[in-house]
Amino acid sequence: MNYTISEENYLKAIYHLQLEAGTVTTNVLAEKLQTKAASVTDMMKKLSGKKLLNYKPYYGFSLSPEGKKIALFIIRRHRLWEFFLSEKLKFNWNEVHSIAEELEHVSSRQLIDRLDEFLGFPSFDPHGDPIPDSRGKIKNVNKIPLLLLPFHHTAEVCQVTNQSEEMLELLQHRNIGIGTRLEVKKHFDFDHSLEIKIKQSSFTISEQLAKNIFVSYEQGI
């Protein structure tokens, strides 16, 4: 019931890649974890030995139900700490991730459940990512990419998928954050940039930026 930091990082990375890409390969996982393919293979054998993975050599791997459950708990810890850092310790959006990477490996179940309570059982972290509850369940939101938002309909930013320093710096400059209400005025075919309006001011943002912004359409969360 207790896993090493390394095992936890592998499980979490596999979970994320499964969500993003559906299928996970040795090389992609190695890239994500900044390690080598051979090391990944070693760990795959270890994790499948513990029944956390379905693994067939040369054919790939995927999380078992138990492995997924554990991954969700690690993600729960990560996101609750991010919420804490942002909400209580007043860290910026772009500072919380790396600290939460360390905190997430503190394993006391009771600690996390009390932290959850202390924070008021939040459903989303500062990036808008959903926080699994104490049973590992994730709240689903009706969200669409900003690129698909129809013109002249106000929507609310609910998630930002790229969490790099650079991206978050840009968002802060533009005053865009989770909960920001905006509407799309126009698409420019030439470079696929968008004109958007927040409160009274309008400006354009690149396709690259817009790709990473998700909004909830009909209603707030």
What is the contact surface with DNA in residues (CB under 7 A)? 4, 6-7, 25-28, 35-46, 55, 57-60
Tokens of 212: 């990473």
Q: How far is the CB of 218 from DNA (least distance, A)?
A: 40
Instruction: Determine the longest span between alpha carbons in the chain, in angstroms.
Output: 58
Find, among 60, 58, 59, 48, the residue nearest to 11 by Cα: 48
What are the contacts of 185-190 at 24+ separation with CB within 8 A? 185/151, 185/152, 186/151
Residues 104-163 that bind its own copies (CB under 8 A): 106-108, 110-111, 114-115, 118
> Which span sits near its own copies by CB under 8 A: 18-26, 85-93, 132-140, 212-220?
85-93
- Using CA atoms, how far apart are residues 169 and 89, in angstroms rounded to an integer? 19
7 is in the binding site of which of DNA, its own copies, none (Cβ under 5 to 8 A by kind)?
A: DNA
85 is in the binding site of which of DNA, its own copies, none (Cβ under 5 to 8 A by kind)?
A: its own copies
Are the CB atoms for 202 and 127 separated by under 8 Å?
no
Q: How far is the CB of 185 from DNA (least distance, A)?
A: 41
Q: How far is the CB of 105 from DNA (least distance, A)?
A: 11
Q: Please report which helix (H) or strand (E) contains residue 184, including its range.
A: strand 181-187
Residue 103 binds its own copies, judged by CB under 8 A: yes
Q: What is the CA radius of gyration of the chain?
A: 19
Q: How far is the CB of 49 from DNA (least distance, A)?
A: 10
Residue 89 binds its own copies, judged by CB under 8 A: yes
- β-pair type (143-145, 213-216): antiparallel
Nearer to DNA, 26 or 163 (CB): 26
- Using CA atoms, how far apart are residues 210 and 217, in angstroms rounded to an integer? 15
Nearer to DNA, 8 or 156 (CB): 8
Q: How many residues does the chain have?
A: 221
Nearer to DNA, 50 or 143 (CB): 50
Q: In angstroms, how far is the first alpha carbon of the chain from the final one? A: 34
Q: Return the residue matching tokens 């772009």.
A: 94
Number of residues in contact with its own copies under rule CB under 8 A:
18
Q: Please report which helix (H) or strand (E) contains residue 164, including its range.
A: none
> Which span sits near its own copies by CB under 8 A: 40-48, 91-99, 127-135, 190-198?
91-99
> Which span sits near its own copies by CB under 8 A: 42-50, 97-105, 127-135, 196-204?
97-105
Give residues in contact with its own copies (CB under 8 A): 85, 88-91, 95, 98-99, 102-103, 106-108, 110-111, 114-115, 118
